[in-house]
């Protein structure tokens, strides 16, 4: 619309509108600077808000995966240490077996050997019942807190997997099946061995049973080692993913400080010149020049 006739009122209205627009942008910049955020409401950048929410949700998931990883790691380490101790015990039992086959031993020595084997059996059962945070590590999802009955040596575990999520794509099994490390056979074999030592003497079958158990434990140790590697790999993947997410969230939501300060400075200059112009224009009218 062409405006042909200008009045003092419209002049001051226009000036006021200009100043208002200036001060509004100043306030917006001031807000951004003091909060440090480019987006403080969804309408500041709707799609940016959507991705910031999605990214922070993924970050929360990563934080949880790292907690799961920490848990899996300690549990696997406990299992690892236990299996090494188990392996040592089985090796001692095998040594005792070999000793017992030495024909020069008298009955007292045999009894002492048998007692040592019994001792080892009890320690092996204790090892099978190793717990991590109250849960038997070889018991699967068994209800009680024992994988092997401490008195009878019967295997109680159900071999069911205990898993946890370590990345968005993968889960890891944290338990070792009792049957995979001989929890169902070793206590009985050791019992039999002790009986045989004091009776007819240790048999080849006893030796085979122990050797089998040792190789089972060795296999399980290898498996645990591989799983520990997987967990620590996952840890570094998730950690770097999380760092990446934090960076992207910041890019999305936070202000670019130098740019915002520059904008604020130029906005300030614009505002001041608008004020200056207003002061010069609005005070003049013909009234001043007539006397």
Partner 1 sequence: MSGFSGLNTGLTGLAAAQRAMDITGQNIVNANTEGYSRQRVELATAGTSSSATFHTGNQPVLSGVSVETITRIRDSFLEAMRATAGARQSALTTEASVLEAAQQLLSEPTSAGLQNTLDAFYSSWHDLSLTPTDDAAGAVVLQRAAAVTDQLHSLVSNLSDEWTTSRTALDGVIAEANQAASDLAELNAQIHSNVVGGRSANDLLDRRDLLVRELGSLVGATALPGEDGQVSVSVGGVTIVSGSTAQELTLSGAHDISAVSADPPTILWNSTSVPVDSGQAAGYLAAIGTDLPDLSSAVDDVALALRDAVNSIHQTGYTRTGATGTDFFTGTDAASLAVVPTAPEDLAVATAAGVVDGSIAAAIGDLASDDASSAALSGATGASELWRELTTDLGVRVQSMAASVLVQDSVVASAEDAVQSSSGVNLDEEMTNMLLYQRAYQASARVITTVDAMLDTLINRTGMVGR
**Residue with smaller CB distance to partner 1, 2 or 258:** 2
CB of 65 vs partner 1, minimal distance in Å: 8
**Residue 199 CB neighbour total at 10 angstroms:** 10
**Residue with smaller CB distance to partner 1, 158 or 233:** 158
CB of 83 vs partner 1, minimal distance in Å: 21
Q: Are 125 and 145 in contact (CB under 8 A)?
A: no
Q: Which two tokens stand for residue 116?
A: 């040592």
3-state helix vs strand vs coil in the chain, percent to 5? 70, 5, 25
CB of 1 vs partner 1, minimal distance in Å: 5
| DSSP 8-state code for residue 40 | S
CB of 212 vs partner 1, minimal distance in Å: 29
**Residue with smaller CB distance to partner 1, 164 or 185:** 164
CB of 97 vs partner 1, minimal distance in Å: 36
**Residue with smaller CB distance to partner 1, 171 or 240:** 171
CB of 87 vs partner 1, minimal distance in Å: 27
**Residue with smaller CB distance to partner 1, 162 or 275:** 162
**Residue 192 CB neighbour total at 10 angstroms:** 16
CB of 11 vs partner 1, minimal distance in Å: 9
CB of 275 vs partner 1, minimal distance in Å: 20
**Residue with smaller CB distance to partner 1, 34 or 200:** 34
**Residue with smaller CB distance to partner 1, 192 or 237:** 237
Q: Are 134 and 145 in contact (CB under 8 A)?
A: yes
CA distance 253 to 13: 37
Residues at the contact surface with partner 1, assessed by CB under 8 A: 1, 3-10, 13-14, 17, 39-47, 49-50, 52-54, 56-57, 60-61, 63-64, 67-68, 71, 133-135, 140-143, 158, 160, 162-165, 168, 171, 253, 285-287, 290
**Residue with smaller CB distance to partner 1, 157 or 182:** 157
């Amino acid at each position: 619309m062409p405006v042909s006739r200008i009045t003092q009122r419209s002049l001051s209205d226009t000036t006021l509108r200009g100043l208002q627009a200036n001060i509004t942008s100043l306030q917006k910049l001031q807000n951004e600077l003091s909060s440090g955020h480019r987006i403080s409401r969804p309408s500041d950048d709707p799609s940016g808000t959507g991705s910031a929410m999605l990214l922070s949700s993924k970050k929360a998931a990563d934080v949880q995966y790292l907690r799961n990883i920490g848990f899996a790691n300690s549990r696997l380490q406990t299992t690892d240490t236990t299996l090494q101790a188990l392996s040592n015990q089985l090796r001692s039992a095998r040594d005792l077996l070999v000793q017992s086959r030495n024909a020069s031993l008298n009955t007292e020595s045999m009894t002492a050997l048998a007692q040592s084997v019994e001792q080892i059996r009890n320690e092996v059962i204790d090892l099978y019942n190793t717990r991590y945070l109250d849960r038997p590590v070889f018991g699967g999802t068994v209800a009680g807190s024992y994988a092997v009955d401490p008195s009878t040596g019967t295997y109680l575990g159900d071999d069911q997997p205990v898993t946890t999520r370590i990345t968005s794509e993968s889960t890891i099994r944290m338990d070792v099946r009792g049957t995979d490390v001989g929890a169902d056979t070793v206590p009985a074999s050791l019992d039999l061995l002790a009986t045989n030592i004091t009776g007819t003497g240790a048999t080849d079958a006893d030796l085979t049973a122990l050797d089998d158990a040792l190789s089972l434990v060795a296999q399980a140790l290898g498996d645990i080692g591989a799983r520990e590697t997987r967990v620590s790999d996952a840890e570094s993947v998730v950690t770097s993913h999380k760092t990446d997410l934090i960076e992207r969230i910041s890019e999305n939501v936070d202000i670019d400080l130098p740019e915002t300060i520059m904008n604020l400075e130029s906005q300030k200059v614009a505002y001041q010149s608008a004020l200056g112009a207003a002061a010069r224009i609005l005070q003049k009218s013909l009234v001043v020049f007539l006397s």
